[in-house]
Structure 1
Amino acid sequence: MNLEQLDLSMNKLTGEMPASFGNFSYLNKLILSRNMLSGPLPRSVQNLQKLTMLDLSNNRFSGAIPPEIGVLSSLSISLDLSGNRFAGELPEEMSGLTQLQSLDLSSNGLHGSISVLGALTSLTSLNISFNNFSGAIPVTPFFKTLSSNSYAGNPSLCESYDGHICASDMVRRTTLKTVRTVILVCAILGSITLLLVVVWILFNRSRRLEGEKATSLSAAGGNDFSYPWTFTPFQKLNFCVDSILECLKDENVIGKGCSGVVYRAEMPNGDIIAVKKLWKTTKEEPIDAFAAEIQILGHIRHRNIVKLLGYCSNKSVKLLLYNYVPNGNLQELLSENRSLDWDTRYKIAVGAAQGLSYLHHDCVPAILHRDVKCNNILLDSKYEAYLADFGLAKLMNSPNYHHAMSRIAGSYGYIAPGK
């Protein structure tokens, strides 16, 4: 059969999963979560050679995970077997899932070693909590950055960075560290009295400098910049809010649109970023564009989608921080009547299409941009295309999705496709 996607979740299905599911050889996504399916996972699953996502979570499947699961080398998005009754050890064949990005085996009865998971070099998300795994945690860069919540509820698992440090030892080590921290804090509090005069002087000086800085920035934002700022980075950034505000000058403007004005900002450490300052909104008009860009771009990464580095905000001003793309946008390129060879045109078209394909088919839930136009396709020095401006974007499963889809979307220069 040529069926490519099948979602039967939350249907109160019972009984065993039929072996005939293996006949759906064209399936790339199979979702059977939140039912009452039971029994073992049929070995015919190995016939689903085009499967990229398999979600069997929150059922009553039992028995061992069949070794045939490791034959599904096409699994690249996710494998979710959580909330079932799987038992036994992980099959060595799972080492074949080298393209898998997300794996959830939590809340089962699995036991034994997890060394086979060290071979899954593409993992970005892992949850094996609340099983009975034991032995050493693999020494890989991914596992070294993994949160302890990802393998909680497995008391026999041991770290192996410094020999074998078991979970119980980790608790004692954390307790000792806490005691030392309390002692240090008490010592610091004992000396606070001696520093009160210095703190008072520094506080008054800081208020005076902030007043002077607010005056110097009045051309860029008036009194709006004098309010306290919140700075939220999505990765390690070696600059502060003050460095960003100093770049918000007319000579640094590189673009304006319906949602705001964009500045080129060179930081003291040499980094160059793009800063979008959103237009002010009325009390009756929520800042949907600001929230949408943070919700969408804060959680996705793709080579053809502009990268959101973080955001700054205060009572009146909202700033979004992006990677700087030096070659402007496609609209500017076309309006300058530059002669583009067909290889370059093809590269730009494919890059934009790959970004859209990722949003529509690889993101869960899918993301609708709703404002794709030449102004919102940025180009780097090698004419690699980047989708930008997600102020009108919507998640397919958001609470206001159907309401939003009933309204006209897009901005000036955008024409929605016909039905």
Structure 2
Amino acid sequence: MRNLTLKFLYLHFLAITLYLFHSANSKSMLRLKRGASISVEGNTFITSPDDSFTCGFYAMPGSKACWFAIWFTNSTDKTVVWTANRDRPVNSQGSRISIQGADGTMVLTDVDGNIIWQTDTRKSDVSAAELLNTGNLVLKNPRGDILWQSFEVPTDTLLPSQILTKEKRLTSSARKGSFASGYFNLYFGSDNVLSLIYDSPDTSSLYWPNPDYDVYTSGRTNYNGSRLAVLDDTGLLRSSDHFHANASDKGFGIKRRLTIDQDGNLRIYSLINSTGLWVITWQALSQPCQVHGVCGTNGICVYAPTPKCICTPGYEMNDPSDWNAGCKPTFNNSLLNSQVKFLELSQTDYFGSDLYYKPNFTLEACRELCRNSLCKGFTYRTWGNGHCYVKSDLFNGHMSPDYPGSVYIKLPRSLQVSKPSIFHGTSTMCESREAEILVGSPSMYDIPRRTARWGYIYSFCGALGAIELLFVVLGWWFLFTKHGVPASVEDGYRMISNQFRRFNYAELKKATNNFREELGRGGSGVVYKGVLADDRVVAVKRVGDVFQGQEEFWAEMTTVGKINHINLVRMWGFCSEGRHRLLVYEYVDNMSLDKHLFDLNFLGWKQRFSVALGTAKGLAYLHHECLEWVIHCDVKPENILLDVEFQPKIADFGLAKLSRRDNPGSEISRIRGTKGYMAPEWALNRPITAKVDVYGYGVVVLEMIKGVKLANWVVDDAEDQEIPLKNLCRQVKEKVECRKLVLGGEHSGSKIGREVQPKTGRNIDSNKPFLCRGRPKQATNNGFSGPNSHGMRR
């Protein structure tokens, strides 16, 4: 024991000595000024003010290759989070990074003077480069404005407060010991969902979220126009497709990073200050073998018990040091066209590459299908009736004890091959057996066993601590907090508090300059313009008497918290202090639609079409895509706002009572809406459904065509109330080609948004509304007289 203690003290003393020696021979600076440079031999670095991050030349041990990089100063392995030249390392002699005096560009040059990398900005007023406490390398002008930043060009790591947008992606490193770009990517796909994808020159395959489920089953939404993801300072990972995840040690004061590793898994790491080691506090896939491409083409990922890669029987590794290269056949492929045999590997499957899929198929019939020259093997699943999957490629196989089927590898009959011993064993294996099975087969993880064990211990202790803390907080809450607020209100608050900011009243009063500039008012309250402390322009709605209590106020909170669509106004936060209840929305530049319909600033036909289509999409999302069935109940031009590009955003939704999808008989007792846009259901005391929004939308589209506020035509006599609408419908039917006129909702043969083509009348390019002369060729059901798909008349 004494010897171990002395050995530890000696190693500790040696580490301190080496660190002090290195520090004495290195120079650090807070900024690199314009015209200055750093050479690779100079041992000079840029450090952040709090010394958390270091920027400079980084070399792998025993290598002459160097990268201009940023790394964590206090981590044991100096973990790199960004590299400028990840695919083009420079020489460890003669290379240099400098800020050119001519145009302010930061340039990395190799020993021969060739430019390897440079910033994509040429600003005459660049003054210096600085490394911020966030790990962001920036170029600034004398006023302190950021002209370029490394956060805009990420590599494989996202740091807290660094935003991943639709134009960016994280790309893994190819292998351990290299920063070269690999094949695994984190990005927003064409469906607007944050995804992990294997993307090699030969194949691409999405593997997270689970491709076996649709977007909504995975808890995501593709109604996601912003496409943003961020890891905050507490360890919360959020993206605008409704995905969120928490680090197990969630809280402030811990250095973290989100990294897509070389094995294709996405992980949050937390730094232990006392040891300088990293611990995994969240990962996207709990089963690493679910990562597509992790063992390459013709490779199989197995648990033995940790994940390992082996080649499919009859195949061998292309590159013994790189599983990304996959495996190649040891036989001539032409032999698969003659005498063949099939080798069964139980509890094994291969992702994708299905030539055929045959349900209710026998094993013999599936084998006959695979005699096709394009077939490399087939998977036969054995739950219920047999399911046959014929494979054109053996891409990234995986073995799992709970997989109910087998794969049959097609091989030449003359090839002598046996199943790997791992397929004969049980699911439980000791370490010695694991080493015996996989001799000469590199692991996908090259992690020292001792480090991994400590990582498990730290994770276990962290989890226990988190559970203890949770019980303490819950106990304190139940003992010392007041419970006068209904449970549903508290549930709503807990949900919304993780996604929105809660403002205080004084803050919003200051932002709106004591509620001075009024933007509009309605039955639900008055809206004021404001500017937050972070310079965001917002619309602040002071809620009126439409809310009779906190229950109804929180109903809007919990609803809006789940809603995100490009054609709906986004809410940024809220305030609830005593009698003060305010909602903070995004500010929409071009005000409401009524400002552009009933005056000289009338929209053109293309703009009107775009507004009609976008509004329909927003309503369809509320009616069919939300977790709750949201009925607006007050669709009118005043509640349709137009952004800077005149794209519509529906406002004031969520104020009516919500109806569950599985409760079609629910009714809204209190009348809500505006005279002229209210459907007959209100007057007839019939159940209120989404059809009332379709009716209001139809009136809005009529106003967009006519250019006159139809609500002004409504008369007091209830019997004559619908006469103006009937008159307009009759005029339009007589003057417009009916099959090209659309009024919203699905209807027989008509589609929303087609332009009205006049036979005679005003020029279609005019910004003024028009009604054409002439009669249609024949009287057809054009959407004005017959019942629509929702069973009501327009």
Give the TM-score of the pair, scaled to structure 2. Answer: 0.27
Task: Judging by fraction of residues, say which structure has more strand.
Answer: 2
The structure with higher relative contact order (CA 8 Å, sep 6+) is 1
Normalised to the residue count of structure 1, the TM-score between the two structures is 0.48
Max Rg structure: 2
Q: Which structure: greater helix fraction?
A: 1
